Chain A
Amino acid sequence: MEIFEILLSASFWAAAVRIASPLIFASMGELICERAGVLNLGIEGIMVVGAFAGWMAVYAGTGLWVGVGVAMAAGMLFGLLHATLTVPFGLSQHVVGLGITLLATSAAYYAYRLALPEVTSPPRIIPFQLYEVPLLSQIPILGQALFNQTPLTYLAFAVVGVTAFVLYRTPLGLALRAAGENPSAVEAQGLSVTALRMGAVIVGSGLMAVGGAFLTMSAFDSFFFEMVNGRGWICIALVVFGAWRPGKALLGALLFAAFDALQIRLQQTGLGMLVPYQVFLMIPYILSILALILMSRRAEVPAALMVPYNRGER
């Protein structure tokens, strides 16, 4: 059976981890927003902005890490816009989020066309290179999958750890979670719901943008249109699948990426001869929907998710 060969190959798992990386960044970003009570549907557009801004910075001559910083800053800027409209003004998080996605996407495309009006084939940068962690990468299968990746992938895993630590072990995390559960509890203790939620959306958006930047700076080496291709929406599903917990969301992203890597490989097999490639490409989206259905009854949604908070409202 070809499928077992695939599942036992290190390169397959390495690919899965690679595919998971942008999803990990972005779903952590979304998770932070939602834990504080704000659904951020700007995610898809913010990923596009991150992908463009990071890549563009490097193309213009900055270092790779500076590029990551630029991507993050660009994402935070759109996060600030989102937060301003949805938190103090309490506007519909659905409409604003979609508007942000539209704005961010078109802004990135506009800037790309402006910066590179002539090009027909997308120019390239030198992306992040694989870094083999000594010793650990020698572990069979897992070693190559987990410890022979680009630094951005390692950063993704670190982000999960930091997010989990902050959320569950620090006063800030407690305040954020409370803001997503019952904002008036936060306000009654003298903290600002507005500041907490805006902060969460801004930081979360920054992470989404880094997720986007992973695509142009680590997975590929150039920016092209439609490259985010629904990954943002998938991350929203992953957050639900992960029951709003960083560790579970990470597992979800890896599982999802494994299926994605599998479908890519299956296309090359005998099965790929029989089944049109589009069916394989549909799998990630169908899986996301299935994940949503599966988790719908079980997950504990933050009680104040999508509920705007109006201070002193009687």
Chain B
Amino acid sequence: MTNTAEAREVVLRLNGITKRFGSLTANDSVDVTLHRGEVIALLGENGAGKTTLMNILFGHYTADEGTVEVFGRTLAPGATGAALKAGVGMVHQHFTLAGNLTVLDNILLGTAPLWSLGRGRREAQARVRKLAADFGLAVHPGAKVGTLSVGERQRVEILKALYRDARVLILDEPTAVLTPQESDALFETLRKAVDQGLSVIFISHKLHEVMAISDRVLVLRHGKLVGETPTAETTPHALAELMVGAEIAQPVPSEAKPGATLLSLRSVFAHPPGHRTGLQGIDLDLRAGQILGLAGVSGNGQGALAELISGEAKPQSGEMRLGNKAAPPWSPRAALAAQIGRIPEDRHSTGSIADFSLTENAILESYKDTALSRAGWMRWSAAEAFAKQVISRYDVRCPGPEARIRLLSGGNMQKLILGRALESNPRIILANQPVRGLDIGAVTYVQKRLIAARDAGAAILLISEDLDEILGLADVIRVMSEGRLSPEFLRGSMTATELGRWMAGEGFDRAA
């Protein structure tokens, strides 16, 4: 948090890192220098090359050009664990924890020589407790990681690095899954770390956080370092332009004109397998021409709700109505028949079949329609025509409908899934994390399409862990915590901090 960093010891230096994947240059001679006690922010869109850079630092990839120096020593390229040994710790965006093991086991993993007997569990536990206390990272060492909340898991990740005496902490999108309050606590932990002489690289695309925590900002775009500036000398607006390379125009929805209730839940309980939290008797109304934004920390029942609406899960008890009729026996097919368009949370594992062509992926939900098959016989030419239509109407950049979807970028894959869902003009739309991991161009595209669908009269349930997205897009907001739903808040009536309290579970008992 000082500006005199220049004078201090250099702890980490990336020199001219270049990495190519086939024709794509993921990193183009990137230089990064980090000093002792400094927090730098690495800013960039999805796909700007931040993750590749970190993979090179940790030896998971070998750079085509350039070197990595930690505390003055050059690391052997491609040596996994070298950076770790040299004192660099990483908190990944997708946690690298084994759910079936305890917190302590996760922390101890790889810390003792494999061929030793690894004694001293008690000492280790004491040390973990001390670190946890020193840095404000409350977590129970004996708990199984699978039972922890997302915030707790992140603390375990940080403890893992600290336990290994990391002097450099790298955090990849650490706040993406936290409530605003949890983010504040994280920042507090980082400040404590810096006070003790640690250095931090903070990877993010959230500008206000970058402004709040960092001493210096580095901006990556298309694999190139396009800007480096002390944080005090820049503005969020300037950073945003650097990051995207153009003025950003976030779509702003017009005033909503809510119509009839198209889907309603009353006291619904459901706990589909594979989710930490189920639905604890929720009431929900989705109205025509309205976007209902569902905020919440991941793992609080949003997954269960999404599975319920998409037809994958059935309500265990309670009532589900479509318009003014009770819902039919529930299944994905029934949901499709009820004109529910679905955008799943994970486009790779749920939304698409990697080795299927674009055509085969485009018709996944509709191949039974008489236009696409008759009496069990596929009409492949009609299927291809449909795929071409989706490709052109939704601006899917691809070699052609026969290409395997595996080869598409995340944004184009998502556009195909969006097109597949919207092409039938659904009355209800479930959009579960529709823009996660997309670059800004694709984000605005998807959001504009959702707003257009709303204006055309669709009822939209937007589930997102990104509060900014909810605040920007939703006409009404509800917060989910421990499988319960907050009351409806109208657009503009709540601040992020207020919503954060609900996300942390406050207020529900009073509301109930």
* Interface residue ranges, A against B (CB under 8 Å): 169-172, 174-175, 177-178, 181-182, 184-192, 300, 302-303, 311-312, 314
Contacts and interface: CB of A to CB of B under 8 A. Distances in A.
Given A171-B114, A177-B101, 7 more contacts: A171-B110, A171-B116, A175-B109, A175-B114, A178-B109, A303-B100, A312-B55
Contacts of A192: 80
Contacts of A312: 55, 60-61
B106 A185 contact: yes
A189 B111 contact: yes
B61 A185 contact: no
Given A174-B105, A187-B80, A312-B61, A182 B113 contact: no
Nearest to B60: A312
B263 interface: no
B13 interface: no
Contact of A181 (B90, B101, B110, B118): B101
B99 A188 contact: no
Nearest to A176: B114
Contact of B84 (A169, A178, A190, A303): A190
Interface string B99-126: 1110001101111111111100000000
Contacts of A174: 101, 105, 108-109, 118
Given A189-B160, A312-B60, A170 B118 contact: yes
Contact of B118 (A171, A177, A178, A191): A171
Contacts of B61: 312
From B94, B105, B113, B114, name the one whose CB has the most chain A CB atoms within 10 angstroms.
B114
A189 B118 contact: no
A175 B101 contact: no
A220 B108 CA distance: 46
A199 to B, nearest CB: 10
A143 B118 CA distance: 36
A188 B96 contact: yes
A169 B101 contact: no
Given A181-B100, A312-B55, A170 B116 contact: yes
Please report whether the interface of chain B is mostly helix, strand, loop or mixed according to DSSP. loop
A178 B60 contact: no
B128 to A, nearest CB: 15
A182 B98 contact: yes
Contacts of A187: 60, 80, 96
B267 interface: no
B110 to A, nearest CB: 3
A312 to B, nearest CB: 4
B99 to A, nearest CB: 7
Nearest to A177: B101
A171 to B, nearest CB: 4
From A170, A171, A187, name the one whose CB has the most chain B CB atoms within 10 angstroms.
A171
A300 B146 CA distance: 13
B98 A171 contact: no
Contacts of A171: 108-116, 118
A169 B96 contact: no
A182 B80 contact: no
A189 B110 contact: yes
Interface string B71-105: 00000000011101100001010101111110001
Contacts of B81: 189-191
A261 B321 CA distance: 60
A172 B92 CA distance: 24
B100 A185 contact: no
Contact of B99 (A169, A181, A186, A191): A181
A187 B59 CA distance: 10
From A169, A170, A172, A174, name the one whose CB has the most chain B CB atoms within 10 angstroms.
A174
A180 to B, nearest CB: 9
A182 B114 contact: no
B110 A190 contact: yes
B261 interface: no
A3 B117 CA distance: 47
Interface in B144-161: 160
Given A171-B113, A186-B110, A177 B80 contact: no
B60 A185 contact: no
Contact of A175 (B85, B92, B99, B110): B110
A188 B92 contact: yes
| The 7 residue pairs across chains A and B that have the minimum distance between CB atoms | A190-B81, A189-B110, A188-B96, A181-B98, A312-B60, A171-B118, A190-B84
